[in-house]
């Protein structure tokens, strides 16, 4: 069984495999599929609770993944300041793994696709992809 502790490496390998054998378009289609089919819990939380739903979702996942981050949630917006992304940390520590060059991009596609359906703008800034530092900013869309 591929354990949860090995999943990030397996995920990374799948991105590389898809791109090498079927092109970048295939990786994008896979990410879209994950977002549409497998993040129903995030979609439900955002549709029902808005920013509080985002806070709930990422507090749960980032705690389980032991990320080092700060999170702020107000009525107007939501931010995650990621200091040490747990996934990137796993790929850095396991030196026998060749990291997929666009690994971090999946966080843009997966979440933007959901959050922007509910009246928000989602932006991710990659501050240091090698070290796993990024900033996610969500704001309410203005009419």
Could you say which of 63, 117, 128, 131 contacts another protein (CB under 8 A)?
A: 63
29 binding another protein? (CB under 8 A): yes
How many residues at the interface with another protein, by CB under 8 A?
Answer: 31
Could you say which of 26, 52, 129, 137 contacts another protein (CB under 8 A)?
A: 26
Beta partners for residue 71, in sequence order:
80
71 binding another protein? (CB under 8 A): no
**Exposure class string for 90-108: b at 16+ Cβ within 10 A, else e:** bbeeeeebebbeebbbbbb
66 binding another protein? (CB under 8 A): yes
Could you say which of 24, 44, 59, 64 contacts another protein (CB under 8 A)?
A: 64
10 binding another protein? (CB under 8 A): yes
47 binding another protein? (CB under 8 A): no
Q: Point out which residues bind another protein (CB under 8 A).
A: 1-11, 13-14, 17, 21-22, 26, 29-30, 33-34, 37-38, 61, 63-66, 96-98
């Amino acid at each position: 069984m591929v354990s949860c502790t090995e999943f990030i490496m397996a995920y990374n390998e799948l991105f590389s495999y898809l791109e090498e054998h079927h092109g970048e378009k295939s990786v994008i289609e896979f990410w879209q599929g994950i977002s549409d089919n497998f993040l129903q819990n995030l979609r439900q939380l955002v549709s029902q609770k808005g920013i509080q739903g985002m806070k709930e979702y990422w507090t749960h996942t980032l705690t389980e993944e032991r990320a080092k981050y700060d999170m702020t949630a107000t009525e107007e917006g939501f931010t995650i300041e990621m200091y040490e992304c747990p996934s990137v940390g796993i790929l850095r520590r396991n030196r026998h793994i060749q990291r997929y060059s666009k690994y971090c991009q999946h966080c843009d596609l997966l979440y933007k696709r959901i959050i922007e359906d509910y009246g928000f703008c989602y932006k991710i800034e990659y501050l240091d992809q090698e070290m796993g530092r990024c900033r996610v900013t969500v704001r309410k869309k203005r009419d």
